C-alpha cells in the first residue's frame, strides 16, 4: 500500500523535470526567436548603414561630376563656342590634362537642338582616346530622356550603359557665365564606373562594395545572408529608368558569431543550474510535502475502504498539510452528521420537489376547467326554468282566456329555443371539459410513470403538439396571445420525443408569454414558435431546436441566467411560486437537452430556446393535402 501511494514522487520528479525541459525549450526558443534575431537585426542595421554610406558616396561622386559640368557650362567661352564652333576653344581647353583633372572619360558639348558640337574621350590610365559609342554620336538619340532637360535648361545626372561599361554622366546647361541665358545647349561629362572606381567609392564609404548585373539583385534593397556575410543589394536604373546594375555591400557577420558564443556559455550555465535546482527541489518536496501527503492519502483511502467515518488522522504538523489534515477530521464529523440527516430527508425532499412540479402543471390545466365550469353554471343559472314550470302549470289547468293561452304558448316556444341553445353550448363545454380532463388524467399518468420508468417517446407533429398545448391554456391567456406557428414547424415533419413532457413545457412557455404581454400593458401580443433540426457534425445525433419568441415585457440582462433558478420569479408570489421555468429546465435536462433565454432588454420581448435530442431519425417533411 505504501509503495502504491509513493508513486507520486516520480510523478513530481517527472513534472519538475518536464518544467525544466520546457523552460530549456523556452530558452532555446527565446534564443532562436528573440536573441539571435536581435543580433541579426544589428547586423542588418549595420548593413543598411553601410549601404546608406555607399549611396551617399555615390551621390557625392555624381554631385561633384555635376558641379564640374556646371562650371564648364556656365562659362562665357563655352557659351561662345556653341555659337561659333571655334576650334581654338577645343585646342586650348579640352585637353588630356584637363580631362584627367576632371577625372572624366568623356566630355560632350551639345547645342540646343541636341547635336553634338564637341566630343572628347580619354583613358585615365593610358591617357589615350577611347572608343565610346555614346561619345561618337553626332546627336543625342531621339528618345534620350535628357532632351527635355536640354530645352528647360535644368542640370541632371544619372547612369548610362556604353560599349565600355557603365558610365556616370552629369549634364548642365550652357549659360553666359553669369548664370543667365538664353541657354544654348548643355555640357555633358561622363566617368566610367570601373572596378577601380567601385573600389574607391567603397573605400570612401568604408564598406566592401562590388558591382554585378541588374539581374543578380532579386529585389531592390533586398538583404540576404550567408554563413559569413550579410549582403545588401541596391538596384540602379539608367537614365531611361531601366535596371542597369546592382551594387552589393558585404558585411561580415561578426556580431552573430559573438552572439552564438555568448549564448553557448549562458546555456551551459543554465543547464547546470537547472540540474542543481532539480535535485534540491526534489529533496525538499520529499521531506516537506510528499511524505506528509502520503500519510494523509493512506488515511483517506482506508476510510473509503472501511466506511468508518469515526476514524481520525490526528496529524501533528503545523503547516498547510497539517491544517488540511485537521480540517479533514472536522469534515468527517460534519459528513457523518450530514449523512444521517440526508438519509432522513432525501425521501421527503424528492417527493416534495416532484409535487411542486405536478401541482404547478395541474394548476395550469385545472384553471381553464374551472373557468368553463363557472361559465356553464352561469348559463344554466340564467335559463328561465321557473317561468317555464309556471307557464306549464297554467296551460295544464286550462285557461278560458284565449289571449292568455296564446301568450303562454308563444313564451313556451321561445323558452324551448333558448333551452336548445343553452343545451348546445353546454354540450360543447362538456366536450371541451372532457378533453381537458383527459389531458389532466394523461399528465397524472405520465407523472406516475416518470417516477418509475423513462419517459415514453412518441411520434409527434409539432403543429399538433402546439394545438394540444393550447387546449389546456386558460381562456384569458388564449385571448391575450396570438400564436404565430412558423412554417418550419411543418417542415421538420415527424419527430420522436417525450410528447407529454414537451407539451407541458410548451404550455408553461405559452402562459409565461401571455403574462409577459399583460405585464407590458398590452391587450394582445404574439408568440412566434419556430423549429429546426440541428446537429454538430455529420455523424453526431440530431437535436430538435424550438424557439418561442414573444413581444412582451422582456427580460433584463441580469435576469437571463436566473429565470431558470428555483424560486426565482418576477411575478407576484400570490400567483407564481417560481417553479414553472425551473421545472421546464429540469424536465428538458432530464431528457438530455437544455434551455436558455435571450432578450434585447426590457420592453423588447424575449425568446426561450430549448434543445433536446431526438430518439430516432426524423421523417421527411410531410406534404399536406391541398
Q: For domain 40-254, which architecture applies?
A: 2-Layer Sandwich (3.30)
Secondary structure E strands in 193-300? 208-213, 223-225, 229-237, 243-252
Asked if residues 255 and 222 have their Cβ atoms less than 8 Å apart, the reply is no
Neighbours of 133 (CB within 10 A): 10
Cis omega (within 30 of 0) for bond into 298: no
pLDDT, average across residues 198-205: 88
pLDDT tens figures, 112-145: 889 999 999 999 888 899 999 989 989 999 889 9
Instruction: Report CA 128 to chain centroid distance, whole Å.
Output: 75
Average pLDDT for the chain? 80
Tell me which residue of 440, 308, 421 sits closest to 369, measured CA to CA.
Answer: 440
Going from N- to C-terminal start, the domains of the chain cover 40-254, 374-435, 454-613
pLDDT attached to residue 343: 39
Looking at residue 618, its pLDDT comes to: 42
- How many Cα atoms within 13 Å fall on the side-chain side of residue 20? 18
- Cα distance between residue 91 and residue 120, in whole Å: 11
Highest mean pLDDT of the ranges 17-26, 182-191, 266-275, 570-579: 182-191
Model pTM?
A: 0.43
Q: Which of 188, 201, 204, 173 is nearest to 105 (CA)?
A: 188
Nearest Cα residue to 232 out of 50, 36, 37: 50
Read off the pLDDT band of 500 (50, 70, 90).
confident
Res. 441: pLDDT tops 80: no
Which has more confidence, 237 or 8?
A: 237
The SS3 assignment for 546 reads: strand
Per-residue 3-state assignment (H helix, E strand, C coil) for 295-310: HHHHHHHHHHHHCCCC
Cβ neighbors of 569 (< 8 A, separation 6 or more) are 576, 577, 578, 580
Minimal CA–CA distance to 355: which of 600, 579, 516?
579
Of 169, 178, 170, 174, the residue nearest 151 (C-alpha): 174
Is pLDDT at 249 greater than 90 in this prediction? no
**DSSP strand pairing (481-485 vs 525-534):** parallel
CA distance 57 to 195: 15
| Grid coordinates given for 139 | 546627336
3-state secondary structure of 529: strand
Q: With bands split at pLDDT 50, 70 and 90, how would you rate the model's confidence at 231?
A: confident
Q: What is the pLDDT of residues 580-592, one digit of tens each?
A: 788 888 888 888 8
Give the three-state DSSP class for 566: coil
Residue 357's pLDDT is 61
Distance, in Å, from the CA atom of 5 to the CA atom of 238, rounded to the nearest integer, reads: 82
Confidence label for 60 from pLDDT (cuts 50, 70 and 90): very high
The pLDDT of residue 354 is 55
Q: pLDDT-derived band of residue 342, with 50, 70 and 90 as boundaries?
A: low
- Find how far residue 255's CA is from the centre of its chain: 41
pLDDT given at position 247? 86
What was the pLDDT predicted at 218? Answer: 53
Tell me: pLDDT of 188 over 90.
yes
pLDDT for position 311: 63
Query: Over 60: is that where the pLDDT of 377 sits?
Result: yes
Q: Which residues pair with 546 in a beta bridge?
A: 531, 610
- Paired sense of beta strands 223-225 and 594-598, if any: unpaired
Note the pLDDT tens digit of each residue in 407-437.
777 877 787 877 778 788 877 777 777 877 7
Sheet with strand 185-192: strands edge to edge: 116-121, 106-111, 185-192, 165-173, 156-162
Q: Please, what CATH class does the domain formed by 454-613 belong to?
A: alpha beta
Q: Is the pLDDT of residue 622 over 50?
A: no
**CA 248 → CA 51, 214, 221, 315, distances in Å?**
8, 11, 9, 77
Q: What is the pLDDT of residue 611?
A: 92
Cα atoms in the 13 Å half-sphere on the side-chain side of 164: 20
Give the gyration radius of the chain's Cα atoms. 52
Distance CA 367, CA 474 (A): 6
Query: How much is the average pLDDT of 452-461?
Result: 66
Specify the DSSP element, H or E, that contains 326: helix 320-381
Q: Supply φ then ψ for residue 78, to 5 degrees.
A: -65, -35
Count the neighbouring beta carbons within 10 Å of the beta carbon of residue 501. 22
Which has more pLDDT, 497 or 310? 497
Which pLDDT score, from 0 to 100, does residue 571 have? 64
Q: What share of the chain in percent tops pLDDT 70?
A: 84
- Model confidence at 216, pLDDT cuts 50, 70, 90, reads low
Beta carbons of 577 and 526 less than 8 angstroms apart: no
pLDDT for 405 beyond 80: no
- The dihedrals phi and psi of 604, each to the nearest 5 degrees, come to -115, 15
| Placement of cell 540540474 in the chain | 275
Q: Which of 25-34, 76-85, 156-165 has the lowest mean pLDDT?
A: 25-34
Residue bearing the bigger pLDDT, 278 or 491: 491
**Does residue 514 register a pLDDT over 60?**
yes
Instruction: Please give the pLDDT value at position 66.
Output: 93
Task: Give me 77's grid cell.
Answer: 567661352
Stretch 260-286: mean pLDDT, rounded? 83
- % of the chain surpassing 90 pLDDT: 18
Query: pLDDT by residue (tens digit) across 596-621?
Result: 999 888 888 889 999 999 875 444 44
SS3 (DSSP) at 414: helix
End-to-end C-alpha distance for the chain, whole angstroms: 77
Residues in the chain: 626
The string of pLDDT tens digits covering residues 470-483 is: 887 888 888 888 88
Contacts 24+ apart (CB under 8 A), 253-259: 253/43, 253/225, 253/227, 253/228, 253/229, 255/39, 255/42, 255/43, 255/46, 256/36, 256/39, 256/40, 256/43, 258/39, 259/35, 259/36, 259/39
**Mean pLDDT (whole number) for 164-171:** 93
Two domains, one topology: 40-254 and 454-613: no
Amino acid at each position: 500500500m505504501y509503495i502504491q501511494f509513493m508513486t507520486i514522487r516520480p510523478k513530481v520528479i517527472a513534472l519538475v523535470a518536464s518544467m525544466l525541459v520546457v523552460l530549456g525549450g523556452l530558452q532555446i526558443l527565446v534564443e532562436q526567436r528573440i536573441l539571435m534575431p536581435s543580433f541579426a537585426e544589428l547586423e542588418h542595421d549595420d548593413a543598411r548603414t553601410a549601404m546608406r554610406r555607399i549611396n551617399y558616396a555615390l551621390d557625392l561622386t555624381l554631385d561633384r561630376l555635376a558641379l564640374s559640368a556646371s562650371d564648364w557650362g556656365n562659362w562665357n567661352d563655352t557659351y561662345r563656342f556653341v555659337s561659333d564652333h571655334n576650334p581654338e576653344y577645343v585646342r586650348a581647353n579640352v585637353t588630356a590634362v584637363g580631362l584627367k583633372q576632371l577625372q572624366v572619360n568623356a566630355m560632350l558639348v551639345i547645342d540646343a537642338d541636341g547635336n553634338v558640337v564637341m566630343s572628347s574621350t580619354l583613358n585615365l590610365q593610358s591617357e589615350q582616346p577611347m572608343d565610346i559609342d555614346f561619345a561618337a554620336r553626332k546627336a543625342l538619340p531621339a528618345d534620350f530622356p535628357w532632351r527635355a532637360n536640354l530645352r528647360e535648361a535644368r542640370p541632371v545626372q544619372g547612369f548610362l550603359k556604353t560599349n565600355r561599361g557603365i558610365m556616370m554622366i552629369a549634364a548642365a546647361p550652357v549659360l553666359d557665365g553669369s548664370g543667365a541665358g538664353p541657354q544654348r545647349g548643355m555640357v555633358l561629362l561622363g566617368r566610367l564606373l570601373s572596378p577601380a572606381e567601385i573600389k574607391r567609392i567603397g573605400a570612401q564609404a568604408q564598406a566592401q562594395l562590388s558591382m554585378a548585373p541588374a539581374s543578380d539583385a532579386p529585389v531592390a534593397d533586398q538583404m540576404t545572408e550567408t554563413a559569413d556575410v550579410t549582403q545588401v543589394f541596391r538596384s540602379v536604373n539608367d537614365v531611361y529608368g531601366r535596371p542597369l546594375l546592382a551594387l552589393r555591400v558585404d558585411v561580415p557577420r561578426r556580431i552573430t558569431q559573438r552572439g552564438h558564443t555568448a549564448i553557448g556559455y549562458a546555456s551551459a550555465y543554465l543547464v547546470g543550474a537547472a540540474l542543481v535546482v532539480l535535485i534540491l527541489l526534489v529533496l525538499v518536496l520529499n521531506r516537506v510535502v510528499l511524505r506528509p501527503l502520503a500519510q494523509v492519502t493512506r488515511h483517506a483511502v482506508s476510510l473509503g475502504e472501511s466506511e468508518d467515518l469515526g476514524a481520525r488522522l490526528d496529524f501533528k504538523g503545523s503547516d498547510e498539510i497539517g491544517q488540511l489534515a485537521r480540517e479533514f477530521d472536522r469534515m468527517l464529523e460534519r459528513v457523518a452528521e450530514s449523512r444521517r440527516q440526508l438519509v432522513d430527508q432525501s425521501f421527503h425532499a424528492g417527493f416534495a420537489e416532484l409535487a411542486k412540479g405536478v401541482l404547478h402543471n395541474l394548476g395550469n390545466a385545472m384553471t381553464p376547467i374551472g373557468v368553463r365550469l363557472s361559465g356553464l353554471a352561469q348559463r344554466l343559472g340564467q335559463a328561465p326554468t321557473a317561468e317555464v314550470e309556471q307557464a306549464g302549470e297554467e296551460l295544464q289547468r286550462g285557461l278560458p282566456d284565449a289571449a292568455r293561452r296564446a301568450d303562454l304558448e308563444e313564451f313556451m316556444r321561445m323558452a324551448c329555443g333558448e333551452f336548445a341553445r343553452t343545451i348546445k353550448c353546454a354540450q360543447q363545454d362538456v366536450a371541451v371539459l372532457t378533453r381537458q380532463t383527459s389531458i389532466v388524467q394523461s399528465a397524472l399518468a405520465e407523472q406516475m410513470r416518470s417516477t418509475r420508468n423513462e419517459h415514453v417517446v412518441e411520434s409527434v407533429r409539432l403543429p399538433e403538439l402546439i394545438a394540444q398545448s393550447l387546449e389546456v391554456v386558460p381562456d384569458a391567456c388564449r385571448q391575450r396571445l396570438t400564436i404565430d406557428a412558423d412554417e418550419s414547424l411543418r417542415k421538420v415533419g415527424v419527430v420522436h420525443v417525450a410528447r407529454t413532457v414537451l407539451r407541458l413545457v410548451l404550455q408553461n412557455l405559452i402562459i409565461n408569454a401571455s403574462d409577459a404581454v399583460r405585464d407590458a400593458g398590452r391587450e394582445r401580443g404574439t408568440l412566434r414558435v419556430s423549429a429546426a433540426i440541428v446537429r454538430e457534425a455529420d455523424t453526431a445525433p440530431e437535436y430538435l431546436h424550438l424557439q418561442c419568441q414573444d413581444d412582451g415585457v422582456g427580460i433584463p440582462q441580469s435576469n437571463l441566467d436566473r429565470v431558470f433558478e428555483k424560486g426565482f420569479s418576477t411575478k407576484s408570489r400570490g400567483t407564481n411560486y417560481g417553479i414553472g421555468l425551473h421545472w421546464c429546465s429540469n424536465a428538458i435536462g432530464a431528457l438530455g437537452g437544455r434551455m436558455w433565454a435571450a432578450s434585447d432588454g426590457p420592453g423588447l420581448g424575449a425568446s426561450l430556446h430549448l434543445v433536446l435530442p431526438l430518439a430516432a431519425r426524423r421523417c421527411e417533411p410531410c406534404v399536406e393535402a391541398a
